[in-house]
């Protein structure tokens, strides 16, 4: 497939491969297979720019992230971290957190296609994605306590809301890796599929296509409503805040009118890029 045309320039990449399974879907592949896709500081800035572009490029609706090789992401680049420690330098991540995802407060959904090792910051990033598809070979861990550091990229409070206190404590305090099957049982994983990177990405693309078939305006606002509830806002407050913030914009846009009209006319809707 030829590269689609975008209104905004595609970010320059060094540690990732960008592709477009269809013009409104972005696929990001971490491309440091020899380093198990550990992310260095330059890589964090690169990923932050990619997800910012996803949110700001009107024609894109959904993103997917996966890793090359046998690892999704094994966490921070500890060799770089050690070098900074020895030199007395501070490691500063973008405000959006590990890989631009773990503390991301973006507008558009991102799906994690976890093909293998998903540890530390990689797991923190995956926890904050909107859907998670996993290979049977995938494993998930917060091993920070084993090397004297703390998972401070956003996973701890989010994990407890996803899997509950006992399981969150087990992962965070023991550093034990859990299997894809356990992740599915615990509610971390949407689906386990196949045995390799290609299969797990294919299913993530299928999910992304289902999302991208819907109104891009409604996807943004619906995701915001769910996210506010997950982040601890009460049901009534979340509903009110979503309505107060987004309802007028949604009604003013073309896609709500198009969706209703297409239903009445018994035809497939013709969506336009989100301009909320």
| Nearest alpha carbon to residue 169 among 157, 179, 152, 180 | 157
* Whole-number Cα distances in Å, 271 to 61, 64, 110, 203, 245: 11, 21, 20, 23, 22
Task: Please indicate whether residue 124 is annotated as part of the active site.
Answer: yes
Phi first, then psi, for residue 141 (nearest 5°) are: -155, 150
Q: Which residues pair with 191 in a beta bridge?
A: 133
- How far is Cα 71 from Cα 116, in angstroms, rounded to an integer? 4
Tokens 């993103």 belong to residue: 63
Task: Please indicate whether residue 170 is annotated as part of the active site.
Answer: no
250 in Cβ contact with 217 (< 8 Å): yes
Task: List the catalytic residue out of 97, 144, 208, 218.
Answer: 144
Task: List the catalytic residue out of 35, 46, 124, 197.
Answer: 124
Residue 232, sorted as left (phi over 0), alpha (psi -120 to 50) or beta, turns out to be left
| Nearest alpha carbon to residue 67 among 16, 109, 131, 19 | 16
Task: Please indicate whether residue 182 is annotated as part of the active site.
Answer: no
Task: List the catalytic residue out of 67, 121, 154, 253.
Answer: 121
Task: Please indicate whether residue 57 is annotated as part of the active site.
Answer: no
Tokens 């501070």 belong to residue: 90
Q: 200-204 long-range contacts, Cβ below 8 Å, gap at least 24?
A: 200/66, 200/113, 200/114, 200/115, 200/133, 200/134, 200/135, 200/138, 201/27, 201/64, 201/66, 201/113, 201/115, 203/113, 203/133, 204/64, 204/66, 204/111, 204/112, 204/113, 204/131, 204/133
Active site residues: 76, 121, 124, 144
């Amino acid at each position: 497939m030829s590269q689609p045309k975008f209104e905004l320039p595609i970010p320059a990449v060094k540690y990732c491969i960008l592709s477009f399974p269809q013009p409104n879907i972005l696929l990001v592949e971490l491309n440091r297979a020899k380093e198990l896709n550990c992310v260095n500081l330059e890589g964090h800035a690169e990923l932050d720019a990619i997800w910012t572009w996803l949110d700001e490029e009107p024609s894109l609706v959904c993103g997917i992230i996966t890793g090359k090789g046998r690892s999704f992401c094994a966490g921070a680049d500890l060799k770089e971290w050690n070098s900074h420690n020895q030199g007395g330098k501070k490691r500063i991540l973008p405000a959006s957190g590990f890989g631009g995802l773990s503390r991301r407060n973006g507008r558009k959904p991102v799906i994690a296609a976890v093909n293998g090792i998903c540890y530390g910051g990689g797991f923190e990033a995956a926890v904050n994605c909107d859907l998670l598809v996993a290979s049977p070979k995938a494993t998930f861990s917060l091993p920070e306590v084993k090397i004297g550091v703390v998972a401070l990229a956003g996973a701890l409070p989010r994990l407890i809301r996803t899997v509950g206190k006992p399981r969150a404590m087990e992962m965070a305090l023991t550093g034990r890796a859990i299997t894809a099957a356990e992740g599915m049982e615990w509610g971390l994983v949407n689906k386990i599929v196949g045995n390799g990177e290609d299969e797990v990405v294919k299913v993530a693309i299928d999910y992304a296509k289902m999302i991208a078939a819907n109104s891009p305006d409604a996807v943004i606002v619906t995701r915001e409503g769910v996210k506010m509830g997950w982040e601890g806002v009460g049901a009534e407050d979340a509903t009110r805040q979503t309505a107060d913030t987004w309802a007028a914009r949604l009604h003013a846009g073309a896609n709500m009118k198009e969706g209703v009209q297409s239903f009445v006319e018994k035809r497939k809707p013709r969506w336009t890029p989100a301009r909320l």
